[in-house]
Amino acid sequence: MTTNQYATGNSKTLIAFQDDWLVLDIGSGHNPHPRANVLADRFFEDDAERTGKGIVLDEAKPFVIADACAMPFKDGAFDFLVCSHVAEHIDDVPAFCAELQRVSKAGYVETPSKFTELIRHPPNHRWFVSSKGSLLRFEKAPVDHPLGALGKLFFSLYFYGTRQVANRNVYAFADGVGQPLHFFLENLRGGLRLLWRLGKAVTYTRFRWQGKFQWQISD
């Protein structure tokens, strides 16, 4: 069977997809996976948890408004699912994990790692997500930033001049400054993001599963 590799998630992890797979993208948002056959997102207009960016649709692919904790698909409807940067927002972890395994035979879940969350923890992230083998772990995230002012500074630099800083607890410069400092901060932002991708073994939680997986919640 023919397979093709696709860069998947914010980490751009290469995953091989078989050509005959039916693939679901849960939380497709502003960056739908190119291999997905069906797109799903909880919100169409509310972009508060989509980094302020509008949803992107593909006329050739069905789009379904669906909660990842209660999806309107038959059991085993998909061969593979992609769930990138959704799990850290979830309200009902048991329902979420059960639904992933119910609707798909296999899948890929990606979130920021706990290391990343400790550095630039956005307030709308409810969980630190990690994995070990076939176990997906959810640790309750604090409301306030763990590193206080240092985390606020990193968030301001990492998202400098982007829509992610809107209505967030960031330093004033994050909205944009004049030259020549603007040029410096743009390049610093680009360098930080490159380092983040190169260090994806540390900066992202990347969880592949086949058939069934276990999950765990801790405070």
Tens digit of pLDDT at every position of the chain (219 positions): 799 999 999 999 999 999 999 999 999 988 899 999 999 999 876 555 545 567 788 888 999 999 999 999 999 999 999 999 999 999 999 999 999 999 999 999 999 999 888 887 777 889 999 999 999 999 998 877 667 778 788 888 988 988 776 667 788 898 888 999 999 999 999 999 898 888 999 999 999 999 999 999 998
Q: What pLDDT, on a 0 to 100 scale, did the predictor assign at position 68? A: 96
Nearest Cα residue to 6 out of 36, 40, 37, 39: 36
Q: What pLDDT, on a 0 to 100 scale, did the predictor assign at position 51? A: 56
Q: What pLDDT, on a 0 to 100 scale, did the predictor assign at position 119? A: 82
In DSSP terms, 111 is beta-bridged to 205
Q: What pLDDT, on a 0 to 100 scale, did the predictor assign at position 182? A: 95
Measured from the Cβ of residue 195, the count of other Cβ atoms closer than 10 Å reads 10
Distance from chain centroid for Cα 50 = 9
Domains of the chain: 3-144+204-218 (3.40.50)
Residues 28/37, Cβ–Cβ less than 8 Å: no
